[in-house]
């Protein structure tokens, strides 16, 4: 089944684009992240069982206080583009740990999904502002980590709904131009892996339904939705895209209106839902 929705307005808030543009200029030197390579048999077993690499060989930040340097850089960018968060972010900065032992613990736990880092702060802060800052910081390190561990697993055969590196859910999918193969994309690690062509990656329901939107340059987008788990997945059909290279990071941001439409239709953002 497919339906067509009307797009009321094309909305890519320029401020959002500026924010991400500035964030993408914060550079993490290549050698700042390391990991301990697991033995081959541990990797093989992990691969078979679908265990993400972050659990087998978590990233280590060589000089852990560099993590805080980056965090402060990002705090300044957030304050510039989200003035509404300015006071809360200043509070968060003041509350960051300054003794080496706590800092080290903080950084090592920052990469463990579900860790409660608020307990390491010197005073209570807005959990939302803290989470926003922390996520954007961790993401930069995860991309670097993603690059150095990518060769440990075969992403072409992974075929799971969750990211082989961080275990997170996909932000986007794409159908390859020539073969029509489907790849899922993790916005945290910025990597793709192969997944079956049809069906829901969240609950593995085999049905496939999607909606499209009318409008200029909209023919390459589809939003798959699942009436079983209520999840949705923005998808780029590269067959309908021109030959410019598709940058999934920007595609995700430039299609925020598709998220809004999906939410309006009653579907859930599975990145946020547990």
Interface residue list for Zn ion (CB under 5 A): 163, 165-166, 168, 186, 188-189, 200, 202-203, 205, 226, 228-229, 231
Q: How far is the CB of 11 from Zn ion (least distance, A)?
A: 27
Q: How far is the CB of 9 from Zn ion (least distance, A)?
A: 29
CB-wise, 78 or 161, nearer to Zn ion? 161
Q: How many Cα atoms within 13 Å fall on the side-chain side of residue 216?
A: 2
CA distance 70 to 66: 6
Q: How far is the CB of 169 from Zn ion (least distance, A)?
A: 9
CB-wise, 192 or 255, nearer to Zn ion? 192
Helices of type H across 150-183: none
Q: Cα-flanking dihedrals φ and ψ of residue 268, to 5°?
A: -110, 145
CA distance 115 to 109: 6
CB-wise, 46 or 168, nearer to Zn ion? 168
CB-wise, 70 or 166, nearer to Zn ion? 166
Q: Cα-flanking dihedrals φ and ψ of residue 26, to 5°?
A: -80, 120
Q: How far is the CB of 146 from Zn ion (least distance, A)?
A: 7
For residue 4, what is the enclosing H or E element? Answer: strand 2-5
Q: How far is the CB of 170 from Zn ion (least distance, A)?
A: 9
Helices of type H across the chain: 14-23, 40-49, 53-56, 65-81, 86-95, 100-110, 127-149, 248-254, 256-264
């Amino acid at each position: 089944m497919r339906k067509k929705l009307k797009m009321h307005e094309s909305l890519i808030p320029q401020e959002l684009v500026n924010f991400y543009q500035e964030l993408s200029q914060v550079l993490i030197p290549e050698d700042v992240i390391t990991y301990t390579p697991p033995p081959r048999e541990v990797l093989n077993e992990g691969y078979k069982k679908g265990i993400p690499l972050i659990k087998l060989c978590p990233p280590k930040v060589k000089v852990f206080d560099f993590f805080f340097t980056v965090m402060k850089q990002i705090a300044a960018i957030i304050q510039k583009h989200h003035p509404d968060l300015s006071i809360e972010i200043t509070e968060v900065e003041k509350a960051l740990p300054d003794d080496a032992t706590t800092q080290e613990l903080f950084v090592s736990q920052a990469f463990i999904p579900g860790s409660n880092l608020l307990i390491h702060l010197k005073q209570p802060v807005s959990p939302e502002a803290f989470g926003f800052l922390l996520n954007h910081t961790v993401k930069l390190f995860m991309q670097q980590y993603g690059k150095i561990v990518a060769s440990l697993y075969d992403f072409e055969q992974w075929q799971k709904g969750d990211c082989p590196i961080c275990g997170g859910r996909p932000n986007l999918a794409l159908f390859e131009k020539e073969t029509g193969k489907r790849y899922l994309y993790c916005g945290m690690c910025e990597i793709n892996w192969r997944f079956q062509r049809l069906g829901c990656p969240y609950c593995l329901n085999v049905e496939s339904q999607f909606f499209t939107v009318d409008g200029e340059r909209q023919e390459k987008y589809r939003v798959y939705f699942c009436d079983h788990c209520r999840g949705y997945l923005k998808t780029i059909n590269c067959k309908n895209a021109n030959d410019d290279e598709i940058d999934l990071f920007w595609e995700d941001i430039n299609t925020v209106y598709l998220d809004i439409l999906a939410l309006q239709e009653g579907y859930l953002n599975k990145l946020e839902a547990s």
